[in-house]
Structure 1
Amino acid sequence: MCAIKTSMKILSVEFMSQNKKILGKLHLPDVENPPVVVGSHGLEGSMESAKQTILSRILPDMGVAFLRFDHRGCGKSEGNFITDTSLEARVQDMIHAVDYLWALKKTRKELMLFGSSLGGATCIAAWKKLLDLGVEPQGAVVCAAPVDSSTITIIPTQATPDRPALPLSFFKENLLFNLSDDLPLMHHVLIFHGDHDGVVPVENGREIHSKAGEPKKMIIHRNGDHQMSEKSHQKEFEKEVKLWVKACFKSTK
């Protein structure tokens, strides 16, 4: 299947999420009222992550808009990473992103979610909140997403060039969660997970696949790591996402 390329417009966007200015980019195809995918990056990632960069290229070529942004305390958005990071805060950022899109009126109200690592958990938790607000996503793509934070095997406590060391209390107070009960609410879910993920064990992906509603698909990358570093895995990601998004948004190219 060959994608039909369209011209694309990239808008720099900003919106407020609980008094924090969130900065992002909206990639718009040259079609009227396209459906839209909203992306959420990992714990210490940004909207410039490899997978979101891939999506910013391939989705507009399919006639689908893509909104990517830096969560509060990350990248170019306002906030302090240590004091403003929690799963609930990430969920609120995603909900405010959807609110912003609906107010902007450059896309139609057909929505899919994308998330990698903690961003995948954000998608799971946000799905329920969106339903409560009368918005039902048409599908999701999640990569290396933790369902139960207690299964995470590597906790990044050491200092980095961008932040001081993180105490264990940071994770205990802000990033303890179990989203198992939210999974049956989801449907049209495409799941990627590496079987050698040393951060979020692949059992999390299997639980998503087991408990989410139909249709759903799980792709386990052999010898795949948490970051999806292998180029062949990235190519498969690109191919499968195109097919999945096309199926969820049946009127896309």
Structure 2
Amino acid sequence: MEKSIQNIEFISEGFWLKGVLHLPAIEKPPLVVGSHGLEGSKESAKQKVLARLLVENGMAFFRFDHRGCGQSQGDFVKDTSLEKRTMDYLSAIQHILSLNKTSRDIALFGSSMGGATCINAWERLSLMDIRLSGAILCSSPVRSRSVVNIPTKANENRPALPLSFFKENLLFDILDKISDLSNVLIFHGDADKTVPVSNAHELFNRANEPKRLIIQKGGDHQMTSEKDQGEFEAEALAWYLRCFRHTRKMTP
């Protein structure tokens, strides 16, 4: 059996979404599913790094574009909200499991709004026929009103965003959902100018054990420091291996 990379399409509430499934050279590996940030995509640096690291260590990784992002269907302005992202995430997991290429041992990965998506999805995932093994969350907001430097200016992917977009689509407070979480590793930079580091402390304080908080000194929202990126790679791999330690030996 050889490692493989497979392009995947699936439907979430009528939208065709596109993703990439990375499989190691073993049968039925445990699976990590990623959720990108507000204006991110499946091409995010962290998710590409995880795809490589996890496959090298016997784990599968699925990265995909939420509706309105990247190669997936949808309009970013009309089709973006935390609940819609959560439905995309649940649909992604259900579809990958339906392919019968992985085990039902699942762990989560989310960056920025993707982290909020994972938190929001956790309770519903816990009711599915899976083993929910843990999560890694990076720079994740738990209350939307805490977010600063709201990205309203136009860019190459979308027009300028009115403040009404955020008021109508992106107001959320998921503090009450954090107590469902366990086996969670949290990364946050203490110089994050988009999602204040106070979110990480609230998240850590409310999550269940086992849990770990890594505050990166001088770290920004995008984790641009090479030192921070190196720490992320090492600690993330170790955490996922720990999350899946109950599974059979994960080597080819």
Shared fold (TM-score greater than 0.5)? yes
**Residue 160 of structure 2 is aligned to residue 154 of structure 1:** no
CA distance in 2, matches of 1:106, 1:136: 16
Contact 1:127 1:136 (C-alpha < 8 Å) held by counterparts: no
RMSD of aligned Cα (Å): 1.2
CA distance in 2, matches of 1:212, 1:7: 38
- Range moving further from structure 2, 158-167 or 215-224: 158-167
**Residue 95 of structure 2 is aligned to residue 100 of structure 1:** yes
Contact 1:147 1:179 (C-alpha < 8 Å) held by counterparts: yes
Q: CA deviation at 1:15?
A: 0.3
**Residue 85 of structure 2 is aligned to residue 90 of structure 1:** yes
Contact 1:130 1:136 (C-alpha < 8 Å) held by counterparts: no
Q: CA deviation at 1:136?
A: 4.9
The equivalent of 1:184 in structure 2 is 179
Q: State the one-letter code of the partner of 1:28.
A: L
**Residue 32 of structure 2 is aligned to residue 48 of structure 1:** no
The equivalent of 2:34 in structure 1 is 39
Q: CA deviation at 1:128?
A: 1.5
CA deviations over 1:41-67 (Å, ceiling 9, x no partner): 000000000100100110001100000
CA deviations over 1:17-62 (Å, ceiling 9, x no partner): 0000010000000101000000000000000001001001100011
**Residue 72 of structure 2 is aligned to residue 77 of structure 1:** yes
2:223 to 217, 225, 228: 228
CA distance in 1, matches of 2:131, 2:113: 21
CA distance in 2, matches of 1:144, 1:62: 25
Q: CA deviation at 1:132?
A: 3.7
| Unmatched runs of 5 consecutive residues or more in structure 1 | 1-5
Contact 1:110 1:137 (C-alpha < 8 Å) held by counterparts: yes
| Unmatched runs of 5 consecutive residues or more in structure 2 | none
CA deviations over 1:203-239 (Å, ceiling 9, x no partner): 1011111110000001000000000000110000000
Q: State the one-letter code of the partner of 1:215.
A: P
Contact 2:9 2:16 (C-alpha < 8 Å) held by counterparts: yes
CA distance in 2, matches of 1:178, 1:81: 21
Q: CA deviation at 1:199?
A: 0.2
The equivalent of 2:210 in structure 1 is 215
Runs of 4+ in 1 over 6 A off after TM superposition: none
Paired-residue identity, %: 51
What secondary structure, in the 3-state scheme, does the structure 1 residue paired with 2:16 have?
Answer: strand
Contact 1:35 1:109 (C-alpha < 8 Å) held by counterparts: yes
1:66 to 61, 64, 82: 61
What secondary structure, in the 3-state scheme, does the structure 2 residue paired with 1:71 have?
Answer: coil
CA distance in 1, matches of 2:68, 2:131: 28
What secondary structure, in the 3-state scheme, does the structure 2 residue paired with 1:84 have?
Answer: coil
Q: CA deviation at 1:133?
A: 3.8
The equivalent of 1:17 in structure 2 is 12
Q: State the one-letter code of the partner of 2:70.
A: G
CA distance in 1, matches of 2:169, 2:44: 23
Q: State the one-letter code of the partner of 1:53.
A: K
- TM-score, normalised by the number of residues in structure 1: 0.96
CA distance in 2, matches of 1:212, 1:134: 22
Q: CA deviation at 1:154?
A: 1.3
